[in-house]
Structure 1
Amino acid sequence: MSIARDFWMVLEPLHTVTYFSPECVDGNKDAGLKGYWMGYFGSRGAPLGPVPAGVIEASFYGIHPARVRRAVPDAWTFASPESILRMRAATAAKALRRIAPQIDDVAAEAVPLLRPAIEAADGAGRVLFAANRELPLPDDPVAALWQLATTLREHRGDGHVALLAAEGLNGLESNVLASVMGNVPRAMVFKSRGWTQEDWDEASAALTARGLLNGEDATETARALRADIEHRTDALATPPYKALNDPDGLYRLLAPLTHTVTERGDMPFPNPIGMPRPSA
């Protein structure tokens, strides 16, 4: 695997407490956001400021526009982005401390080692990454580690979305391909992304016309395309990690923490992100 994928595997589980852990879900509600999805769009989108729904649709990719528009821009009338951001980092740190009591010692050591990757990264064309990088780093080391993990995962995600768009795959078609290749169950796509069977059938027909699907199965062309996109995603995500002084040492520091978070935490496997369970 590449260094970018290795670090994605150790950083992504730290970030995802914001979607799955009760501290974070409850924190969205306590901040004033109504329901899970307004909490999701409001908290992940808060670094962008009080943007309209179209910006969320474009930058998040893959989620039904109607689901976005039921939550945005109304979210900003219930809670300001500034208040959401304060809550978001604090509840993520609270969740991580519950799941992994050793995290304080790891965070204190990891934060200064990881910061150079953020500072060295190119933000051009990476809206979610750039918005997160502009945020002040929390004084709390655990919240700071969570924010750094979040910023780097958005860097990777921005690059991935650019590649999907460049290959002419819209958000739904990307989800269909991920599902037929076994990354995300179809029912989970419907539940987590808001698409219907009718939407799915329309996207499947488009993918079939391109030679990417054969009935319910991905073709070899599709598998090669998917592998190429993943390889190029890793390549685009690699430059920040070249700024690390000791990437192997930082990986060894973070890997046991990630193992604890995936084994004791709240992230399900399989999950809507399509992330496999990291090996021990």
Structure 2
Amino acid sequence: MLSIGSVEERRAAARRLWSLFENYHVLTYFTPESRAAADGLGCKGGWMGYFAQRAAPFGEAGPELVISTFYNFPPGMVHRALPDAWELADAETFLATRLTGVDGALRHLLGEEALSGPEIAELAELGRAAAAATPITGRPLAAANAALPWPEQPHLALWHATTILRESRGDGHIATLVAAGLDPCEALVLYAADHGMTDEAMLGFRRWPEQEWQAAVDRLTERGLIADRALTAAGGQLRAWCEERTDDGAILPWLAIGEEATRRFAELMLPIARTLSATNEAFRNNPMALHLVT
């Protein structure tokens, strides 16, 4: 049973809750419906729509802001999408488009009956309470999304809550990476080593130039954090430190709403997350996908 008593339980709960609501949030970008909605504006290749829709809460953000706040994408990849995307549509249109994509994906994957049921309405209330208590100071993506108006329909209000929660967690994680002295490419190399992922898989998904990737490998090897592409003891300790600090920040909204409400959110979210984890092919094929632990 989910508990948020001790420090260890709080960290475990933070990661467990993330695994539940992340499956709901990622419909924003990783479904055919979301891809089609962005492509309908003229976006090409998938990533243009991703960068524009995720950055849209900032307004028509320049590539430098996105490189900074998204953190682990190579600058060239961002520059290929922005600012060109804003010539297709303004930020307000991209915000409406991502909501259209999410709505279509939820109706397809969960069905109309589930979306109109009392569980979604209750989840929306609990999620909104947690989102209202989510830290945004020093967390720019969370703050930008928190400033947006709330959708009226419960299934979309729940999506908005999960977006604020996950961007706050992500902003906090970036802060730990900076504190750990890990630049964007190094953070990905260390992640790949921790998860046994090949260079080819990561380069294919994040598209860092091979020369820059190898330079990051060399730097981490010199620091004693990896050896032959595998984590060393020091590398494992640093990865654990980053995850623990991230969890320590991510548990704060759940502490604010209390253990009973948090447990109820997890209870109601679990069957939905299971369904989405099993049926969302686009996200399951993502090499960095967060797989639901049941």
TM-score range, shorter chain: over 0.9
Aligned residues: 279
1:118 corresponds to 2:131: yes
> Please, which moves more after superposition, 120-129 or 27-36?
27-36
Contact 1:184 1:274 survives alignment (8 Å):
no
Aligned pair partner of 2:183 in 170, 189, 196: 170
Q: Residue deviations 1:103-137, cap 9 Å, x none?
A: 43232121111111111222111000000001111
1:239 pairs with 2:249: no
2:88 maps to 78
1:53 counterpart = 2:63:
yes
Identity %: 36
Deviation at 1:185, TM superposition (A): 4.1
Corresponding position: 1:257 with 2:272: yes
Shift of 1:233: 0.4
Q: SS at the partner of 1:2? A: helix
1-structure distance, mates of 2:161, 2:199:
31
Q: Please, which moves more after superposition, 135-144 or 124-133?
A: 135-144
Return the alpha-carbon distance in structure 2 between the equivalents of residues 46 and 268 of structure 1. Answer: 21
Alignment correspondent of 1:104: 116
Deviation at 1:197, TM superposition (A): 2.4
Shift of 1:187: 2.4
Mean Cα displacement is larger for which, 192-201 or 3-12? Answer: 192-201
Question: Are positions 1:203 and 2:221 aligned together?
Answer: no
Question: Which of the residues 133, 153, 156 maps onto 1:140?
Answer: 153
With over 3 angstroms needed to count, the CA separation of the structure-2 counterparts of 1:171 and 1:272, relative to structure 1, is farther
Distance of 1:149 and 1:184 partners within structure 2:
27
Measured against aligned partners, the alpha-carbon deviations of 1:19-41 in whole angstroms (never above 9, x if no partner) come to 22000001001123333111110
Native 8 Å contact 1:176 1:203 kept in 2:
yes
Between the aligned partners of 2:148 and 2:288, the Cα distance in structure 1 is: 24
Q: How does the TM-score come out when normalised to structure 1?
A: 0.95
Work out whether residues 16 and 267 of structure 1, in 8 Å CA contact, stay in contact via their aligned partners in 2: no
Q: Are the structure 2 counterparts of residues 109 and 189 from structure 1 closer, same or farther at C-alpha, using a change threshold of 3 Å?
A: same
Is residue 186 from structure 1 mapped to residue 199 from structure 2 by the alignment?
yes
Residues 206-250 of structure 1, C-alpha deviations (whole Å, 9 max, x = no match): 001111111222111000110111011000111111222511011
Distance in 1 between residues matched to 2:234 and 2:163, nearest whole Å: 33
Q: Give the TM-score, by structure 2 length.
A: 0.90
Residue of structure 2 aligned with 1:226, choices 203, 222, 239: 239
Structure 1: runs of 5+ lacking an equivalent: none
**1:274, distance to aligned residue in structure 2 (A):** 4.8
Q: 1:40 aligns with which of 42, 47, 50?
A: 50
- Displacement of 1:267 in angstroms is 4.1
> Which residue identity is paired with 1:148?
A
Equivalent AA in structure 1 for residue 239 of structure 2: R
Query: Do the aligned residues in 2 keep the contact of 1:17 with 1:267 (CA within 8 Å)?
Result: no
Alpha carbons of structure 1 residues 14 and 96: separation in structure 2 relative to 1, 3 Å: same
In 2, the alpha carbon distance for the partners of 1:140 and 1:90 equals 12
1:21·1:267 contact (CA, 8 Å) conserved in 2?
yes
Aligned counterparts of 1:98 and 1:184: Cα–Cα separation in 2: 31
Report the CA distance shift for 1:158/1:85 in structure 2 as closer, same or farther (over 3 A).
same
Displacement of 1:184 in angstroms is: 4.6
Letter of the aligned partner of 1:240 in structure 2?
P
Give yes or no for the alignment of 1:213 onto 2:216: no
Matching residue within 15, 22, 33 for 2:25:
15
Quote how far apart the aligned CAs of 1:186 are. Answer: 2.7
- Residues 31-88 of structure 1: CA deviation (Å, up to 9, x unaligned): 2333311111001111111111100000001111001001111111111110111111
Q: 2:19–2:293: 8 Å Cα contact kept in structure 1?
A: no
Write the letter of the residue equivalent to 1:52: G
CA contact (8 A) 1:212 1:221 kept: yes
Q: State how far apart, in whole Å, the 1-side matches of 2:281 and 2:23 are.
A: 10
- In the alignment, residue 292 of structure 2 is paired with which amino acid? P
